[in-house]
Amino acid sequence: MHVQIITYNLENTTEQDYLALCRDLAPTFAKMPGLATKYWIADPATNTYGGVYIWTDRAAMEAYMAGEVAAAVIAHPNLTNITSKDFDILDAPTRVTRGLP
């Protein structure tokens, strides 16, 4: 398993329009190869939004980042200050805290 956290700020859009975009995009992410789950995150007070992605492995994340969906997110005119950080998972303690099957 591999974790990726992507954050960004909204620009020249409303939160309602952004939520509609998320609803439209959710089925695309649901079919993403190697994506175990995605948590959609929001902090309207700081205008910070994004996602926590749980990938089956680093290769799946890298394939996403090299693909069309990630390119469209990066190029979206209403998303700014995009950051992506990824992390390996420490299996043994994560199993203890019920994070892995």
List the domain boundaries for the chain. Answer: 8-46+58-96
Return the percent helix, strand and coil in the chain, to nearest 5.
Answer: 40, 35, 25
Question: Is this prediction's pTM over 0.75?
Answer: yes
Confidence of residue 10 (pLDDT cuts 50, 70, 90): very high
* pLDDT tens digits along 40-83: 999 999 999 999 999 999 999 999 999 999 999 999 999 999 99
Confidence of residue 7 (pLDDT cuts 50, 70, 90): very high
Confidence of residue 23 (pLDDT cuts 50, 70, 90): very high
Burial of 72 per CB tally in 10 Å (0-12, 13-18, 19+) = exposed
